[in-house]
Amino acid sequence: MLSGKEKARIAVLVSGGGTNLQAILDAQKSGVLTSGEVTVVISNRTGAYALERAKAAGVPAETVTRKANGGTQEGFEAALLATLDKYQPDLIVLAGFLSILSEDFIRRYEDRIVNVHPSLIPSFCGKGFYGLKVHEAALERGVKVTGATVHLVNEIPDGGRILLQKAVDILPDDTAETLQKRVMEQAEWILLPRAAELLSAEIIKKRSETV
């Protein structure tokens, strides 16, 4: 078993309730995630319930908002980077983080930021496709299968290299809300911890090769 010092340090960025965060925390307990450890949770919204989930798990919880940092993207990202620097993460997981990060920010953590998107990319993705909007678009289009995708983050929204995907059937009586719930339960909460383990294991391997 890896000690805390040997594990990849994971920062999870959140905006809301934190169900994907909870899936990652649960994966640590169950042994799905053994190569990495959540060392900080950062919210861009004051009072996000995800912060309570972090505290309940004994994980440091921080809040960095755009409003408190001059109301600009530059001020927000500078404060976010300063907070991340305190924890020195090896991997950043976007778990329902509703803020687009700049190319400069992403370059700082190239190939070390991962996101989960509630569709089978390249369908229903990119700018403007988030939350219920994704599921509404899938239902409007009449597709029979949707799902979730975990991908690395680059300068193009939802455009980074795909790591994992899982399909979920659309049922005849689905609403955007019922579909969202099922995609989370059957795909997002399974894929994101799995991807975190996959990337954490790669980080540990590269670390050992450079020693």
Reported as a single tens digit per residue, the pLDDT across 41-86 is: 999 999 999 999 999 999 999 999 999 999 999 999 999 999 999 9
Q: Which residues are catalytic?
A: 117
Confidence of residue 4 (pLDDT cuts 50, 70, 90): low
How does DSSP classify residue 183? H
Backbone angles phi, psi at 17, to 5 degrees: -70, -25
Cβ atoms 1, 81 nearer than 8 A:
no
Domains located in the chain, CATH noted = 8-210 (3.40.50.170)
Reported as a single tens digit per residue, the pLDDT across 132-169 is: 999 999 999 999 999 999 999 999 989 999 999 999 99
Angle at 64 between CA 63 and CA 65, to 5 degrees: 115
Nearest to 113 by CA among 11, 45, 21: 11
